């Protein structure tokens, strides 16, 4: 049993993202989904249960959080860790090793398990989660989705009583999300208690027992999955919630006529440490086109974006702009990339300063308008590293609007975003398209693709397998490529 008794918390030096008068009881074996807009307090709830508040995140805490009748704030971290396992939104922040086998074993090693039992537990975890292909790999060479799988496996190996997951689907492709749903069903059937903070709701509708909706740190309402499904789509969107059924999501009937063709790739091949990643890539893109790039985790999508921007050096073939060959340095000057892990590209002391950092003669009026459009104006004086994951993502997207480059590439720009933020980013992408920018977006977000992309490229088995327009007539193929389930998920 987990109990929140009159819990309020405010982060030191911050007025936002705290909690106010939370009272909630979670029974053993229950799966509870926490949802709401970015910054509503979902992640704070998980930090209270795993002891990161107040042992790591400082602030003013009132009330009590009890697990099995014991107050969390009075327990040492090793006692909490024996009961509570956490999978963070950014898995990189919880890794301690450089290879996958050692990472899976790390938690149980710290429990001083005998070597034979430890080895058996790693093998059992690998088999249960079907991650044999990720064994004996360098963690730094994994994709974001593969890292997420290893983070979950390291927790599963410890066999905790309580699982906490913060945006566990944010870096996963659609097939991996379905696998995650199966893993959650597995641990639920084992009697585990599951708390999930999540924006993507559709895959949890048949798993969650209750859905707790928060606004500005307060519990506004608690739904059953069926009650949430019955809400009109417009009402859910007003609440900042994503789709509960992807079958409801439809692309437009037609796409606007594309402008002049400017970008062309001829027989491009990408390598990493003498191993081939992608080969035989040939495509063209016109001004104003928004091209989605999809494929399974580890298919080479991010490497393709990096090559477009001149960040990946091991390339063969030709990159042409207006018929002229672009070498790597020319691509670097013409392009801007929003990375999957935006922490790598946030440098300034405030959100406002970030919007002009490194940009010659920045347009301050455009920066001001973009902050307002993306709901960031209230955070202009905040340090970017104090923002939530979704808020950081929006800051990086804002810079893409302000920098004035011709070729823009986005790696999972809706990772960790609520409906409002996803719609704001989609609106910004459309504006950039109208300005004649050429835009490539790696994404697993079917809802976002249907709002923004003119076509999608599908990478599979080292090559570009499909080039499909995002229009109603192509809906069956799009659903197939995104593994949209024909019926509600397990």
Beta strands in 155-235 (DSSP E): 162-166, 193-197, 210-215, 218-223
In the DSSP assignment, the letter for residue 169 is T
Q: Residues 258-288: pLDDT tens digits?
A: 788 999 999 999 998 878 999 999 999 999 9
Per DSSP, the residues of 262-310 read EEEEEEEEEEETTEEEEEEEEEEEETT-EEEEE-STTSSHHHHHHHHTT
pLDDT confidence of residue 244: 94
Strands (E), 183-242: 193-197, 210-215, 218-223
- Ordered alpha helix ranges (H), 350-418: 351-354, 364-373, 389-402
Per-residue b/e over 90-129, b at no fewer than 16 CB within 10 Å? bbeebbeeeebbbbbbbbbbeeebeeeebeebbeebbeeb
Closest CA to 400 of 308, 337, 357: 337
More confident residue, 84 or 13: 84
**Angstrom distance (rounded) from CA 320 to CA 233:** 44
Are the beta carbons of 290 and 452 closer than 8 angstroms? yes
- The residue-averaged pLDDT of 386-412 equals 86
Residue 32 has pLDDT above 90, yes or no: yes
Tens digits of residue pLDDT in 431-444: 889 989 999 999 99
pLDDT score, position 13? 79
Instruction: Count CB atoms within 10 A of the CB of residue 319.
Output: 22
Q: Which residues are bridge partners to 204 per DSSP?
A: none
**Residue 396 binned pLDDT confidence (cut-offs 50, 70, 90):** confident
Residue 255: per-residue pLDDT:
87
Q: What is the pLDDT of residues 295-305, one digit of tens each?
A: 988 889 999 99
Please state the φ and ψ torsions of residue 438, each to the nearest 5 degrees: -100, 125
pLDDT digits (tens, 9 = 90+) for 324-365: 999 999 999 999 998 878 888 899 999 999 998 888 888 889
Q: What is the mean pLDDT of residues 389-409?
A: 86
Q: What is the dihedral of CA 88, 93, 95, 99, to 10 degrees?
A: 110
Q: Is the model more confident about 166 or about 373?
A: 166
**3-state SS assignment for residue 359:** coil
pTM of the model: 0.85
At 132, the pLDDT band (50, 70, 90 cuts) reads very high
DSSP string, 429-488: HHHHHHTT-EEEEE---HHHHHHH-SEEEEEETTEEEEEEE-SGGGHHHHHHHTT--SS-
- Residue 154: the pLDDT is 95
Q: Can you tell me the distance from the alpha carbon of 173 to that of 445, in angstroms, rounded to the nearest whole number?
A: 8
Q: Left (φ > 0), alpha (ψ -120 to 50) or beta: where does 372 sit?
A: alpha
In tens, the pLDDT along 60-81 reads 999 999 999 999 988 998 899 8
Separation of alpha carbons 272 and 275, rounded Å: 5
- The pLDDT mean for the chain works out to 91
What pLDDT, on a 0 to 100 scale, did the predictor assign at position 281?
95
Q: In the β-sheet with 335-338, what is the strand arrangement from edge to edge? A: 335-338, 407-411, 438-442, 290-294, 455-460, 463-469
Give kind and range of the element (H or E) at residue 185: helix 174-189
Tell me, what's the pLDDT at 257? 79
Angle at 89 between CA 86 and CA 95, to 5 degrees: 65
Q: Is the pLDDT of residue 89 over 90?
A: no
For residue 490, what pLDDT is reported? 47
Read off the pLDDT of residues 380-392 as tens digits, 9 standing for 90 and up: 999 998 887 778 8
Could you tell me which residues come within 8 angstroms of residue 161 by beta carbon, excluding any fewer than 6 positions away? 28, 83, 84, 192, 193
Strand, coil or helix: what is 402? helix
Find how far residue 278's CA is from the centre of its chain: 24
What would the two tokens of residue 135 be?
Answer: 């064994």
Residue 385 is predicted with a pLDDT of 87
């Amino acid at each position: 049993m987990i109990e929140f008794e009159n819990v309020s918390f405010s982060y030191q030096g911050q007025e936002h993202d705290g909690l106010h008068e939370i009272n909630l009881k979670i029974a053993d074996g229950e799966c509870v989904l926490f949802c709401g807009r970015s910054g509503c307090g979902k992640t704070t709830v998980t930090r209270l249960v795993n002891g990161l508040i107040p042992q790591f995140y400082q602030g003013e805490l009132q009330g009590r959080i009890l697990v099995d009748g014991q107050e969390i704030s009075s327990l040492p971290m090793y006692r909490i860790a024996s009961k509570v396992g956490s999978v963070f939104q950014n898995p990189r922040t919880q890794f301690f090793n450089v290879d996958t086998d050692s990472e899976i074993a790390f938690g149980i090693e710290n429990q001083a398990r005998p070597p034979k039992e430890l080895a058996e537990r790693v093998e059992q975890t690998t088999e249960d989660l079907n991650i044999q292909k990720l064994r004996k790999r360098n963690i730094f060479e994994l994709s974001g989705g593969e890292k997420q799988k290893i983070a979950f496996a390291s927790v599963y190996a410890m066999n905790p009583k309580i699982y906490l997951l913060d945006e566990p689907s944010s870096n996963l492709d659609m097939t991996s999300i379905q696998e995650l749903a199966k893993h959650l069903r597995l641990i639920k059937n084992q009697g585990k208690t599951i708390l999930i903070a999540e924006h993507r709701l559709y895959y949890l509708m048949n798993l969650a027992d209750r859905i707790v909706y928060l606004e500005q740190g307060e519990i506004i309402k608690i739904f059953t999955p069926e009650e949430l499904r019955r809400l009109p789509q417009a009402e859910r969107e007003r609440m900042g919630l994503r789709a509960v059924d992807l079958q409801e999501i439809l692309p437009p009937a037609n796409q606007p006529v594309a402008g002049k063709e400017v970008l062309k790739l001829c027989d491009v091949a990408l390598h990493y440490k003498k191993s081939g990643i992608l080969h035989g890539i040939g495509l063209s893109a016109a001004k104003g086109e928004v091209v989605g790039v999809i494929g399974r985790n580890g298919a080479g999508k991010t490497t393709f974006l990096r090559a477009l921007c001149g960040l990946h050096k091991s390339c063969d073939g030709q990159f042409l702009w207006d018929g002229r060959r672009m070498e790597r340095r020319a691509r670097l000057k013409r392009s801007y990339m929003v990375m999957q892990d935006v922490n790598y590209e946030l440098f300034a002391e405030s959100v406002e300063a970030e919007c002009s950092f490194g940009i010659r003669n920045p347009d301050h009026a455009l920066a001001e308008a973009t902050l307002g459009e993306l709901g960031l104006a209230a955070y202009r004086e905040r340090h970017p590293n104090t923002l939530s994951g979704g808020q950081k993502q929006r800051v990086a997207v804002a810079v893409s609007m302000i920098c004035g480059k011709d070729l823009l590439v986005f790696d999972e720009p809706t990772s960790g975003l609520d409906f409002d933020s996803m719609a704001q980013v989609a609106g910004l992408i459309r504006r950039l398209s109208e300005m004649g920018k050429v835009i490539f977006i790696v994404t697993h977000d079917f809802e976002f693709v249907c709002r923004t992309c003119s076509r999608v490229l599908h990478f599979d088995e080292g090559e570009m397998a499909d080039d499909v327009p995002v229009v109603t007539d192509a809906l069956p193929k799009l659903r197939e490529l995104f593994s949209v389930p024909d019926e509600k998920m397990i």
